[in-house]
Amino acid sequence: MYALAASRHMHEYGTTRGQLAEVAVAARGWAKLNPKAFMREDLTVEEVLSSRMVSSPLGVRDCCLVTDGGGAVIVTSAERARDLDVTPVYLLGAGEAHWHRNISQMPDLTVSAAAESGSRAYAMAGVGPENVDVAMLYDAFTINTVLFLEDLGFCEKGDGGAFVSGSRISPGGELAVNTSGGGLSYNHPGMYGLLLIVEAVRQLRGECGDRQVQNANIALVHGNGGVLSSQVTALLGSESTL
C-alpha cells in the first residue's frame, strides 16, 4: 500500500528511487552515531537500490525494521516539572487529522493529513517549519519521510525528492531528521511514534552525544497511523522557547 503512494509520487512529480534511497542512507548516517541503533553498518544509495525488492518501487532497505523495543514519557504541568531533577521539555502545540482508513479511500495518494495536523500544531505553537531545529518523522517507509517533509511545509509538494537529496537530512545537513536513525535503522517495535518523542526530548535536553544537534530548541514530532491515515503533529520546545 505504501508502494502505491510511492509510485504515484514518482508518476506525478518525477521522484526517483535514488531520491527515496537518500532517505534510507541519511537514517543510517544518524544510526551510526547512535550506539543503541540496530543497524549501524555503512549504507550507500547503490546498496539501497540493489537490495531485494519488496513491492515496487520499495526495496527492503526502503522499509522499516521489525524489532523489539519500547519507551515511555512522563507528562505533567510546567509548574511541577520545574521541581524535577531532569530538564523538562515543553509541549508548544499539537494537532491531529484523519482523512481515510484504507488507502483505497485516500483522496490524493501524494498528500497526507499531515498537511492539516501540521498547520494546527504550528498555529498552536506560534511557530513555522522555518523555526524547527530537529524533525522526527515516522519513517515506516522512505516515502513517508518525503511526503511528511512536503505536507509539514519544509518544502513544496512534489519537491520532497529533491529536498532529501545531497545529504540534506543527513548528519551535518541543513535539516536534522530522525536523528536516532529512525524506524529505518534505529528501532521499530511496531508502535514507533513514542520513540520519536523520546528522541526529540533527548535532543532538546542535549543528551544525544555524537548525534547531538547544536542549539536544538524546537523539535517537530510527527506520527503516522494506519496506511497514511491518521496523522498527529507536535511541537516541543526547551525552556528558552516559552
Active site members: 138, 186
Q: Are 185 and 38 in contact (CB under 8 A)?
A: yes
Neighbouring C-beta atoms of residue 139, cutoff 10 Å: 31
List the Cα angle 15/17/22 in 5-degree steps: 95
In terms of Cα–Cα distance, which of 193, 220, 194 is closest to 121? 220
Q: How far apart, in whole angstroms, are the C-alpha atoms of residue 43 and residue 64?
A: 14
Taking CA atoms, 16 is separated from 7, 8, 42, 188, in Å, by 9, 11, 22, 25
